[in-house]
Amino acid sequence: MNDRKKINIAQPSFLGNEKKYLLDTIESGWISSIGPYIEKFENEFARYHGVKHAIATHNGTIALHLALVAAGIKSEDEVIVPDFTFVATANSVRYCNATPVLTDVDPGDWNIAPESIKANITSKSKAIIPVHLYGNPARMDEIRDIAKQHKLLIIEDCAEALGAKYNGERVGIMGDIGCFSFFGNKIITTGEGGMCITNNDELAERMRILRDHGMNRTKKYWYDLLGFNYRMTNMQAAVGVAQLEQLDDLLKTRDDIYLSYQNAFKDSPGILLQETHHQRSVNWIFTIRMQGLSEAQRDAVMADLKVKNIDSRPVFYPIHKMDFYQNGGFCRMIPSGSNLVSQEGISLPTYIGLDQSDIRFIAETLKESLAIHVNK
Ligand SMILES: Cc1ncc(COP(=O)(O)O)c(C=O)c1O
């Protein structure tokens, strides 16, 4: 029997002004998508990234969709996306009736592989969505070179990587638009929430109009475009402002958690961490590959952790395996990197408040389980 408290995979932390600002929105009555916290959150987010525009949205999935529509992506267009990512990256392209081209990832850093991007470029290619998976920046130098050479837009999916840097530059500002998520398990949260950032005035204006039903910015109830209600609420933004105030501390605590896990696994050669390139990764959810494991063995390890009250997650399944991505020419090459990382990967508890003894217990339990399953 195990009498330790349950260790969750993730949990939000509200240690700053969240309640105060949230109460403020309720007392003021500004609870929908008009109110001072929205502008403040956008301005502070833009300032943090040193970028001209930040456009807040109701979640990260529609931030991606908004970016793609504003960028003019439409049917017949192809957008290169990793095969190994959260499904929203690819789905957002399909919402535009365009084709997401599912592209293999590097089994070392688990991010979209520049050489596979090149192999997937056709005359219909319009954009690339690199995802900085699990907080680890993709190889942006090479991706930018490819994009420049083939005149492709770059929309960075930074949902999991707020605060990460590549060659000293923050993720989100290395392409045309950067998109973020503030779901409850993210680096900062607003419950649900998202953001698009850009230095491009025209794209920013289109995103602001499209976010608000396509309404003319000066003529009320006159619609210039077929738009959406993708707005963030003042209540969400109030929580976002308070969370952003704590971002540096939150990232530091997550770094410490990463180092503790790294230390706990340092004598386990079969446990592989994501490789990094010229970058400052952020520890969104500590995730490892257990080399040589089948998917069934990985799932058995997760079951053992569960018995000890430790929550864990499989990594994402390759998108090409989903029924609704089977036909339609989405995946044109065998994504061996994506298949491999997906079968061996497991995410472990990562949140503010997880302590050293929890991490030691998780690592020891996992190692014991591996010893049982690895040779079965
Ligand atoms: C890589 C990636 N892209 C997009 C999203 C979508 O964000 P949201 O859940 O806020 O819609 C997520 C979130 O889980 C994600 O991890």
Q: How confident is the model at residue 233 (pLDDT cuts 50, 70, 90)?
A: very high
Cα gap 363→348, rounded to integer Å:
9
* 3 state SS of 158: coil
Looking only at Cα atoms, what is the longest distance across the chain?
A: 69
Task: Provide long-range contacts, Cβ within 8 A and 24+ apart, for 331-336.
Answer: 331/83, 331/101, 331/102, 332/101, 332/120, 333/104, 333/116, 333/119, 333/120, 334/104, 335/83, 335/84, 335/102, 335/103, 335/104, 335/105, 335/116, 336/104, 336/107
Q: What would the mean pLDDT of 219-239 be, rounded to a whole number?
A: 97
Half-sphere exposure in the Cβ direction for 320 (13 Å, CA): 22
| CATH ID of 18-245, from 3.40.640.10, 3.40.50.1480, 3.10.20.30, 3.40.50.300 | 3.40.640.10
pLDDT above 90 as % of the chain:
96
Residue 61 Cα to ligand 1 middle (Å): 6
pLDDT in tens, 46-58: 999 999 999 999 9
Residue 331 Cα to ligand 1 middle (Å): 21
CA 183 to ligand 1: nearest atom:
10
Q: What would the mean pLDDT of 98-114 be, rounded to a whole number?
A: 98
Residue in the block written with tokens 């969240």:
18
The CATH code for residues 247-373 is: 3.90.1150.10
Residue in the block written with tokens 């990260």:
60
Report the mean per-residue pLDDT for the chain.
96
Which residues have CB under 8 Å from 212's CB, separation 6+?
33, 227, 229, 231
In the chain, DSSP finds a helix count (H) and a strand count (E) of: 12, 14
CA 160 to ligand 1: nearest atom:
16
85 lines ligand 1 (CB under 6 A): yes
Is residue 145 within a helix (H) or strand (E), and if so which, with residue range? Answer: helix 140-149
- How far is Cα of residue 285 from the mean position of the Cα atoms in its chain? 11
Best of 57, 85, 86 for a ligand 1 pocket test (most atoms within 8 Å of beta carbon): 86
261 lines ligand 1 (CB under 6 A): no
What does the DSSP 8-state code read for residue 128?
E
Which residues have CB under 8 Å from 116's CB, separation 6+?
103, 104, 105, 333, 335, 337
183 lines ligand 1 (CB under 6 A): yes
pLDDT in tens, 293-344: 999 999 999 999 999 999 999 999 999 999 999 988 999 999 999 999 999 9
Q: What would the mean pLDDT of 35-52 be, rounded to a whole number?
A: 98
pTM, whole model, 2 decimals? 0.97
Residue 109 Cα to ligand 1 middle (Å): 19
Question: Residue 75 class from Cβ within 10 Å (0-12 exposed, 13-18 middle, 19+ buried)?
Answer: exposed
41 lines ligand 1 (CB under 6 A): no
Cα gap 97→350, rounded to integer Å:
36
User: What angle in degrees, to the nearest 10, is found between the helix axes of 295-307 and 336-344?
Assistant: 30
pLDDT above 70 as % of the chain:
99
Residue in the block written with tokens 């005149």:
151
Q: How confident is the model at residue 2 (pLDDT cuts 50, 70, 90)?
A: low
Q: Where in the chain is the domain with CATH 3.40.640.10?
A: 18-245
Could you write out the DSSP letters of every residue in 104-121? -B-TTT-SBPHHHHHHH-
| Closest residue to atom 8 of ligand 1, CA basis | 60
Both tokens of 227, joined, read 């738009």
| Closest residue to atom 10 of ligand 1, CA basis | 60
